[in-house]
Amino acid sequence: MTGPLSVLMAVHGGERPEYLSAALESIFIQTLTPREVVLVEDGPLGKTLRAVIKAWSARQPALLRSVRLESNMGLAEALNAGLKACTCELVARMDSDDVSLGDRFERQARFFAENEDIDVLGGYSDERDASLGHTIAIRKVPSRHEDIAALIKWKNPMNHVTVMFRKEAVESAGGYPPELRKMQDYGLWAKMIKAGCRFANLPEVLVTFRAGEDFIRRRGGIGYFRYDIAVMRYLKKTGVVGNLHFAANLVLRFLSRISPPRLRNLIYSEIRRREK
């Protein structure tokens, strides 16, 4: 027996309307219909995005609810605001440009019903080009809590776009850390693991993720390395990593960020190949 479900999504003015529409459609055709979809409008959206939301609100007036923020606050603040508006114990995360598989919610809700000790549940993501026509890689993550807790010292062990969690557990941990401009979910998982929350991943694809052709390029350079520094400092503050892991992580991430895009692509492809 599965319980009621909220879906939490945030959208900002830079999103593509057709991607948002596809993401919403993948929610409303699920085999397990959510009780509500909480869509946080993170600042002004513009006419085309507003038109998409208006059209879907007309089609799903009982399910789709908007939470409007006057200015762009960033993903952490937007998700925290949306989480407060969610009324169900279970909350599924969705990004505004990705597509959930048709039975994703049903599979995850069933797992929660059968595993009452689990607080956060994710799964694999199918990383594709922007049109979703070509698979770049399947991002696999460990299934068991113990392996997730070990991996978090080195990299994010959860695919954020696939996650479903218990609202109370996230709120008890303090929600998404707004001081992180990127990788806010990584910081949240660290807090929750340190607080004793239990994690799991389903060993199967749950979401099709728009990585895009320039996915690796966007994650290179000194600018992105600054985000690595911030999240590693946060993990150190939470006590998830010590001095050795902190230093080793920064060295590895620095070398990765400054590598030429072609080399980063080769490294990324090899990592994904070994994960298969």
Kindly report the CATH number assigned to the domain that includes residue 25: 3.90.550.10
pLDDT digits (tens, 9 = 90+) for 222-252: 677 788 889 999 999 999 988 888 888 877 7
Average pLDDT, integer, range 148-163: 95
Give whole-number Cα distances, 44 to 13, 24, 123, 180, 231, in Å: 6, 19, 32, 22, 28
Domain for residue 10, yes or no?
Answer: yes
What tens digit of pLDDT does each residue of 31-41 get? 999 999 999 99
Per-residue pLDDT band for 30 (boundaries 50, 70, 90) equals: very high
pTM: 0.89
Q: How far apart are CA 108 and CA 110, in angstroms?
A: 5
Query: Per the domain annotation, does 176 fall within a domain?
Result: no
Q: What DSSP assignment string belongs to 170-215?
A: HHHTTSS-TT-SS-HHHHHHHHHHHTT--EEEEEEEEEEEE--TTT
Q: What percent of the chain stands above pLDDT 90?
A: 72
The answer to whether residue 206 sits within a structural domain is no
The structural domain count of the chain equals: 1
Q: What whole-number distance in Å separates Cα of residue 27 and Cα of residue 105?
A: 9
62 lies in some domain: yes
Whether 69 is covered by a domain: the verdict is yes
210 in a structural domain: no
The highest-confidence range among 56-60, 225-229, 236-240, 257-261, by mean pLDDT, is 56-60
Q: Is residue 255, in this structure, part of any structural domain at all?
A: no
Domain residue limits at 16? 1-99
